Amino acid sequence: MSTVEFKNVKKSYGDVKVIHDFSLKIEDGEFVSFLGPSGCGKTTCLRMVSGLETNTDGVISLDSQVMSTGKASDFVAPENRKVGMVFQSYAVWPHMNVFDNVAYPLKISKTDKGIIQEKVKEILEIVELTGLENRMPNELSGGQQQRVALARGLVARPKVLLLDEPLSNLDAKLREKMRVDIRNIQQRFQITCIYVTHDQIEAFTMSDRIVIMNMGEIVQIGSPEEIRNNPANDFVKDFITSNH
């Protein structure tokens, strides 16, 4: 089981409240997208799951194990959460070749060299980068760099994969292909996935459920069909018809 649960989670920066009483449970193997306009708090929620941000109040749990309550004594460090993260900017190490970039999470966990070789080879095959092991990032296309980031996020078999606007820097045709590839890989690994986007096409074509957010709050949760056919209010209706 790899579940993610938010219970009455709040996040403030000083006096500025950015997340208000956020509660949600993501089931094992589910692909859930956080969809909403820029500044609505979706990336903040993702980063709180990873441990890169800490919630001010409430409880964040992975597999019923508390990761954070806002108290320092309850905080589990990012490296101990068994989550994989794929960033909008790729965050590929420029001084490392493809193999070393992908192997990095395994190396820092002191995995045996033979197992590293085996796991990196397997994941590069899955993301269609076989033969590019020795290439440097500046020798790769944007789509190839994004595949490196995806492979690195998956190689240690995390319990949860977190993706923050991972396709926004790609051209339209490549975005379409990567949407299909990411969904196929997620289903192949049966991994729980949280995907942040402001693009409704991505959310509606990839997700089991969509969480629509606005101004730090959940506005509607449902399957793509439920949200498309029964928008909860005018904000949702306007957002999903105007956003392309």
| Residues 62-96: tens digit of each pLDDT | 999 999 999 999 999 998 999 999 988 777 889 99
Query: Does residue 189 share a domain with residue 148?
Result: no
Query: Does residue 71 share a domain with residue 27?
Result: yes
**37 within some domain:** yes
**165 within some domain:** yes
Query: Does residue 183 share a domain with residue 218?
Result: yes
Q: Which residues form the domain of 176?
A: 4-82+158-242
**169 within some domain:** yes
**108 within some domain:** yes
Query: Does residue 164 share a domain with residue 148?
Result: no
**87 within some domain:** no
> Could you say which of 107, 131, 157 is where a domain stops?
157
Mind giving me the DSSP string for the chain?
---EEEEEEEEEETTEEEEEEEEEEE-TT-EEEEE--TTSSHHHHHHHHHTSS--SEEEEEETTEEEESSSGGGPPPGGGS-EEEE-TT----TTS-HHHHHHHHHHHTT--HHHHHHHHHHHHHHTT-TT-TT--GGGS-HHHHHHHHHHHHHTT--SEEEEESTTTTS-HHHHHHHHHHHHHHHHHHT-EEEEEES-HHHHHHH-SEEEEEETTEEEEEE-HHHHHHS-SSHHHHHHHHH--
d(CA 191, CA 184): 11
Q: Tokens representing 221?
A: 């949760």
> Could you say which of 157, 183, 211 is where a domain stops?
157
pLDDT of 243 reads 58
In the chain, how many domains are there? 2
pLDDT of 36 reads 94
Query: Does residue 238 share a domain with residue 162?
Result: yes
Q: What is the pTM of this model?
A: 0.92
d(CA 125, CA 13): 42
Q: Which of 89, 188, 202 is nearest to 137 (CA)?
A: 89
Query: Does residue 145 share a domain with residue 47?
Result: no
Query: Does residue 49 share a domain with residue 102?
Result: no
CA distances from 154 to 122, 141, 158 (A): 11, 20, 6
pLDDT of 164 reads 95
**124 within some domain:** yes
Query: Does residue 78 share a domain with residue 10?
Result: yes
CATH number at residue 193: 3.40.50.300
Query: Does residue 179 share a domain with residue 128?
Result: no
Q: Say if residues 237 and 217 touch (Cβ distance below 8 Å).
A: no
Query: Does residue 162 share a domain with residue 74?
Result: yes
**71 within some domain:** yes
CA distances from 113 to 93, 107, 118, 186 (A): 20, 8, 9, 26
> Could you say which of 107, 137, 157 is where a domain stops?
157
Query: Does residue 225 share a domain with residue 168?
Result: yes
pLDDT of 90 reads 73
d(CA 85, CA 158): 9
**15 within some domain:** yes
Which residue positions in the chain have pLDDT lower than 50? 244
Query: Does residue 206 share a domain with residue 120?
Result: no
